[in-house]
Amino acid sequence: MAYLNINSIIPVSEVNGPGKRFVIWFQGCNHDCTGCFNKPLQEMKNNQIISVDEMMDKISSTVDIEGVTFSGGEPFLQVDALLELSEKIKKQLLTIVSYTGFTLNELKNDQNPKFKEILNLMDILIDGKYSKDNRSNCIWIGSSNQRINFLSDRYSDYIEEIVGQSKEIEYFIDKSGDIILTGFPDFNPFL
Residues that bind ligand SF4 (CB under 6 A): 29, 31-33, 36, 38, 41-42, 72-74, 101, 129-130
- We find the least distance from the C-beta atom of residue 186 to ligand SF4, in angstroms, to be 16
Instruction: Identify whether 35 is preceded by a cis peptide bond (ω within 30 of 0).
Output: no
- We find the least distance from the C-beta atom of residue 61 to ligand SF4, in angstroms, to be 28
Cα-based distances in Å from 179 to 48, 50, 87, 148, 174: 19, 23, 32, 28, 6
- We find the least distance from the C-beta atom of residue 29 to ligand SF4, in angstroms, to be 3
- We find the least distance from the C-beta atom of residue 143 to ligand SF4, in angstroms, to be 9
Query: Which residue, 33 or 59, has its beta carbon nearer to ligand SF4?
Result: 33
Query: Which residue, 56 or 138, has its beta carbon nearer to ligand SF4?
Result: 138
Query: Which residue, 69 or 94, has its beta carbon nearer to ligand SF4?
Result: 69
Would you put residue 24 in left (φ > 0), alpha (ψ -120 to 50) or beta? beta
Query: Which residue, 36 or 96, has its beta carbon nearer to ligand SF4?
Result: 36
- We find the least distance from the C-beta atom of residue 36 to ligand SF4, in angstroms, to be 3
Q: How far apart are CA 38 and CA 191, in angstroms?
A: 10
Query: Which residue, 123 or 127, has its beta carbon nearer to ligand SF4?
Result: 127
- We find the least distance from the C-beta atom of residue 87 to ligand SF4, in angstroms, to be 24
Query: Which residue, 21 or 129, has its beta carbon nearer to ligand SF4?
Result: 129
